[in-house]
Amino acid sequence: MKVITDWINTNIALFLVSVNLLLLIIWLLPVGLLQFKRSSFIQTEISKINKIEIQSNQLSITLTKQDNQWQLSLANQKNYTADQQRVDELLKTLSTIRSQYDLPLGNSENKAANKSEFQLDTEAVKLTLQTDSNTTETVLIGRASNRSDTTFVLRDGETTIHEVDANLRNKIGIQDSQYFRNRSLLPKEIDADTINSIVFFEPKRTLRLAKAGSDWQMIEPMVGKLRHESFEPLLTEIVNLKAKGFVDKLPTKSEKKSIRIEIGYHSGTTTPGVFQLDIIGKSDYGSYYIKLDDSIVEVSSYYLDDIYDPSRLLDRKSEH
C-alpha cells in the first residue's frame, strides 16, 4: 500500500512541477507569440476593398481602385495616380493589426475626457473602408506612438477604445495630403531599354544624346561615344527619378533654372514617343525642381550636374 501511495505522490508532484514549468514558459514568452489565434482588428475583407476615405482637420483624401490601379483624389478635386507601394503597405497593415488592449470609453461624465486624452475627439482621423458590394467600415484613429508602434482606435458607433499594434497615423501620412501620390516621374513604359534619345535644352546650349545600337553617342555640342562609366549613372538616375516632395512654388532660396529634358523612347510595337520634363530650379543641397503637369516636384539628384560639363560624359578615345 505504501508503494502505491508513494507512486501516486511522486506522479502528483511531477504533474505539479510540469504545470508550473508550463505556466512559467507562457509567462516568459513575448506577448506577440500568444496572439497568433486572434483575428485582425479590421473586419472588412482586405481584398474586396475598392475605396478608402481618410478625413481629418488636416486633410481629406480618397483612394479609389480602378482596374487594379489605385487613384488618389484630393479635396481640391485634383486626381493623381496613387503610389501603389504605399497603398499596399496600408492594406497589409490593416490586414494584420491586432487589438492589444481594450478599455471602455466611459459614461457620459468621462467619455469626452477619454476621447480627448486618446485624441479620438476633434483630433481623430476618420478612416472609412468600402468594398465592391458597398459595405463600409469606419474607424477613428487617435493618438499614436512611434516608440511603441501602437495606435488608439475606436470603431464608429462603439464604446470600446482599442490599442492596436501599428502606427496607423504614419501609414496614412497624416500631415501630407499627397502622401499617397505616385512618386515616379516617368511613365512605366519608359526604362533604360526603351529610351533611345535624351536631349537637354538650355537657353544657350543643347546637349543631345542618342542610342546607336547598343552604344550611346553624343551628337551635340560635341560628337563622340559616351563613356559607359560616366553615362550609365546619369541614365539610371533619370529613369528612376522620384519625387521626394511637391511644392506650390519655388523656394525663395533656390536658384532658377531653365532646362527642358526631352526623352525619346520606343516600346515594342508602339509609336515612338517623347516625354518632357522641365527643370525650373535648383537648391544648394542637391535638389532640383521640375515642372510636371500642374505641379512642381522636388527630386534629389547627384548626376544631373554632369550636363553642365558634357565633356565628362565622353569617351576621350572617340571624341571628334
Mean per-residue pLDDT for 53-57?
94
Query: How many other C-beta atoms are found inside a 10 Å radius of the C-beta of residue 26?
Result: 10
pTM: 0.76
The cell for 269 is 510595337
pLDDT, mean over the chain? 86
Q: What is the pLDDT of residues 86-127, one digit of tens each?
A: 999 999 999 999 999 898 887 767 888 888 899 999 999 999
Mean per-residue pLDDT for 17-41?
53
Residue 269 in contact with residue 256, Cβ under 8 Å?
A: no
Q: pLDDT band at 170, cuts 50/70/90?
A: very high
The candidate with the shortest Cα–Cα distance to 148, out of 173, 169, 131, 132, is 169
Q: pLDDT band at 8, cuts 50/70/90?
A: low
Q: In sequence order, what E strands does the chain have?
A: 49-55, 60-66, 69-74, 79-81, 99-104, 125-131, 136-145, 150-155, 160-164, 195-202, 205-212, 215-220, 224-225, 243-247, 255-265, 273-282, 287-292, 295-300
The cell for 176 is 501630407
Residue 309: helix, strand or coil by DSSP? coil
Separation CA 107–CA 158 (nearest Å): 13
- Distances in whole angstroms, Cα of residue 114 to Cα of each of 98, 127, 285: 21, 20, 45
Residue 226 in contact with residue 315, Cβ under 8 Å?
A: yes
Q: What is the pLDDT of residues 200-238, one digit of tens each?
A: 999 999 999 999 888 999 999 999 999 999 999 999 999
Residue 202: helix, strand or coil by DSSP? strand
Length of the chain: 320
Residue 279 in contact with residue 285, Cβ under 8 Å?
A: no
- Distances in whole angstroms, Cα of residue 38 to Cα of each of 23, 42, 98: 20, 12, 7
- Asked whether the CA dihedral 21, 23, 28, 32 is positive or negative, the reply is positive
The candidate with the shortest Cα–Cα distance to 80, out of 70, 90, 88, 72, is 72
- Distances in whole angstroms, Cα of residue 304 to Cα of each of 5, 228, 261: 88, 16, 11
- Residue 299's pLDDT is 95
- Residue 23's pLDDT is 55
